[in-house]
Amino acid sequence: MKILAAELETLRTRVRELEAQLEQKLEITLEKAVSRLKSRVEAREAHAVATGVDGEERQRLIAEVAYLKAERRGFEGGDPEQDWKEAEAEIDRLLLQGWRKHQEIPRESASRPGSSRRKASRTQ
């Protein structure tokens, strides 16, 4: 009986150790997930500020493109998560291209050598 009690206590101790290890791993995993989520939220906020498109509109555009991808293949096969990721990349690329073009317009005319001379000669 004493042997069984000792083995039981050993098992209880081992279970407590395993629980502590599991809790530690869960905390680390949670911290990583929160950090990644925070980075994604910050990136989306920065993206919204940079492109002038809020998160809700961006999500709507992504959903539409992902739906169209699935529709093109007749909703057969494929991976909805992959469709979403591809749509997200496509929308972000398009939004940033549009934003960059918008940003380049004023700089382009101001930084072009001789652009002010050409304007002056045209008005004379």
Q: Do both 76 and 98 map to the same domain?
A: yes
Q: Is residue 84 part of a domain?
A: yes
Residue-range definition of the domain harbouring residue 56:
52-110
Gap between the Cα atoms of 48 and 64, Å rounded: 18
Residue 121 falls inside a structural domain = no
Q: What's the mean pLDDT in 12-41?
A: 93
pLDDT value, residue 41: 79
DSSP H or E run through 63:
helix 55-72
Q: Average model confidence (pLDDT) for the chain?
A: 81
Among 33, 51, 69, identify where a domain stops: 51
Query: Residue 116 pLDDT more than 70?
Result: no
pLDDT band at 122 (very low <50, low <70, confident <90, very high): very low
Q: Are residues 102 and 60 in the same domain?
A: yes
CA separation for the pair 71, 38 (Å, rounded): 32
Residues 105, 61 share a domain = yes
Name the pLDDT band for 123 (thresholds 50, 70, 90).
very low
Q: How many domains does the chain have?
A: 2
**Domain co-membership, 81 together with 94:** yes
Domain's final residue, options 36, 51, 66: 51
Residue 121, pLDDT score: 44
